[in-house]
Amino acid sequence: MSTGYRYLDFDVESATDHRVNDYLKIMDIKPAKNLKDSDKIKKNIAEKMEKIKQQAPLYWYLSRPVTICMYDEEKDTRLSFSDQDPTLLLTKFCNSLVTEYQDHFLCGKNSTKFDMPIVTGWLLKYNIGVPHHFRRNLKALTDIDHIFGYSATMNCQISTLADYAFGLGIDGKTMSGSDVGELYMAYQMGLDKTALDKIIEYCHQDVAIVTEMRKRFFKPFYVKNEPITLEGVF
């Protein structure tokens, strides 16, 4: 069923700077006071560390884009942007948006809480103009998660079900998002020349899930047309 909107389904893969771990080491992270079991204490501390790592200012300052992948449904074309120079990668991505896809909506999964603010942060960091695609907060048009909510557990289950139900052959993938940093380091050091290709393919697999979920479940309607906020950045 046509929605009347033109979409670019997208996903972002990034690598975190080693300084994030250095930053966490010097922080005095304490577990919840009511915990006694050692395993639960370790898990609680790990969860708190992960929450700190995901804070927008820290993440976009101490991370870099590895690849941004998109799917153009009209042309049935997969696109990917990658470069060892993050400025060139982001510039190519933005040039593509403003020259070829001015009237398209970027559609992702958890995009209004992660991908869009993070990419916007990178653009500010590298002094690159922010395309209008990132200046509007149309959650119902740009984020699959508004259908299912933002529970991490629920989103994991939804992705797994999508893999299975849509016959994408992605369930049981050989890598996950947490592997990107290590793979990219191996690529940069010349230890694995195929590592970047693996990351790009993994990114495209996530985009394929977004596409299928959007086509089967998305019924877009406008909510607020306002700038995406970078919580805690300014």
**Is the pLDDT at 27 greater than 60, yes or no?**
yes
Question: Span 84-91, mean pLDDT?
Answer: 94
Token pair 């740009």 in the structure block, residue: 142
Q: How many beta carbons lie within 10 A of that of residue 199, not counting itself?
A: 25
Task: Mark out the alpha helices in 54-115 (DSSP H runs).
Answer: 56-61, 86-100
- The identity of residue 168, as a single letter, is L
Split at pLDDT 50, 70, 90, the class of 224 is: very low
Supply the pLDDT for residue 90. Answer: 96
Query: Is pLDDT above 70 for 145?
Result: yes
Q: Can you tell me the distance from the alpha carbon of 174 to that of 199, in angstroms, rounded to the nearest whole number?
A: 11
* 137 vs 128, higher pLDDT: 128
Report the C-alpha gap between 122 and 232 in whole angstroms.
Answer: 15
Is 90 exceeded by the pLDDT of residue 125? no
State residue 22's pLDDT score. 64
**pTM value?**
0.73
The chain-wide mean pLDDT, for the chain, equals: 76
Q: Which long-range contacts (CB under 8 A, 24 or more apart) does 140-143 make?
A: 140/220, 140/221, 140/222, 140/223, 141/5, 141/105, 141/107, 141/220, 141/222, 142/105, 142/106, 142/107, 142/108, 142/111, 142/112, 142/116, 143/107, 143/108, 143/109, 143/110, 143/111, 143/112, 143/113
Q: Which domains does the chain have, with CATH numbers?
A: 7-17+62-217 (3.30.420.10)
Share of residues in the chain with pLDDT > 90 (%): 22
Average pLDDT of 205-227? 68
How far is Cα 110 from Cα 139, in angstroms, rounded to an integer?
Answer: 10
Q: Which of 18 and 62 is assigned the larger pLDDT?
A: 62
Average the pLDDT over 89-117 and give the result: 88
Q: Grade residue 96 by pLDDT with cuts at 50, 70 and 90.
A: very high
Burial class (CB in 10 A: 0-12, 13-18, 19+), 140: middle
Give whole-number Cα distances, 16 to 65, 183, 215, in Å. 9, 12, 32
Q: How far apart are CA 163 and CA 143, in angstroms?
A: 18
Q: Give the pLDDT of residue 91.
A: 96
Which strands make up the sheet holding 105-107, listed edge to edge? 77-81, 63-72, 7-16, 105-107
Confidence (pLDDT) at 227:
43
pLDDT at position 99, please? Answer: 94
pLDDT band at residue 143 under the 50/70/90 scheme: confident
| pLDDT computed for residue 94 by the predictor | 95
73 φ, ψ (degrees, to nearest 5): -65, -35
More confidently predicted of 3 and 192: 192
Cβ(70)–Cβ(10) under 8 Å? Answer: yes
* Contacts for 3 with CB less than 8 Å, ≥ 6 apart: 218, 219, 220
